[in-house]
């Protein structure tokens, strides 16, 4: 495992039990959003120069998979939002600094 996945797995029970809540809300609950934010999963593919972890994509995908196994909505958010830093990192450094 990786450090971010370890932090996420500390909240596995919440992720599992919160699935129906997120489905009912049509979004992830505030508690699950906090887990995603505070665990660092959204910053896994973000370059270190911009405050991210610059993790290997395989580590990110494994983490997103494990989240999705426990809470489909949280896995979807992780996969969609978590890849944005990687997409931005492919652009011109000037653009990255502006964002």
pLDDT given for residue 64 in this prediction: 98
Structure tokens at 19: 């699935």
CATH number of the domain residue 40 falls in = 1.10.540.10
Q: How far apart are CA 88 and CA 91, in angstroms?
A: 6
Q: Which domain holds residue 73?
A: 3-98
Confirm if 78 and 68 have CB atoms less than 8 A apart: yes
pLDDT at position 75 is: 96
Contact status, residue 4 vs residue 55, Cβ threshold 8 Å: yes
- Quote the pLDDT of residue 43: 96
Cβ atoms 15, 70 nearer than 8 A: yes
List the pLDDT tens digit at each of the 99 positions of the chain. Answer: 699 999 999 999 999 999 999 989 999 999 999 999 999 999 999 999 999 999 999 999 999 999 999 999 999 999 999 998 888 888 888 887 887
pTM of the model: 0.88
Question: Could you give the number of structural domains in the chain?
Answer: 1
Q: Which residues contact 48 (CB under 8 A, 6 or more apart)?
A: 54
């Amino acid at each position: 495992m990786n450090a971010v996945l370890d932090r996420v797995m500390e909240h596995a029970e919440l992720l599992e039990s919160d699935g129906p809540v997120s489905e009912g809300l049509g979004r992830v609950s505030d508690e699950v959003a906090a887990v995603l934010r505070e665990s660092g999963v959204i910053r896994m593919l973000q370059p270190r120069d911009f405050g991210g972890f610059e993790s290997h994509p395989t580590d990110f995908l494994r983490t997103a998979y494990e989240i999705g196994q426990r809470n489909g909505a949280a896995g979807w958010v992780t996969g969609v939002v978590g890849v944005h830093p990687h997409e931005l990192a492919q652009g011109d450094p000037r653009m990255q600094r502006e964002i």
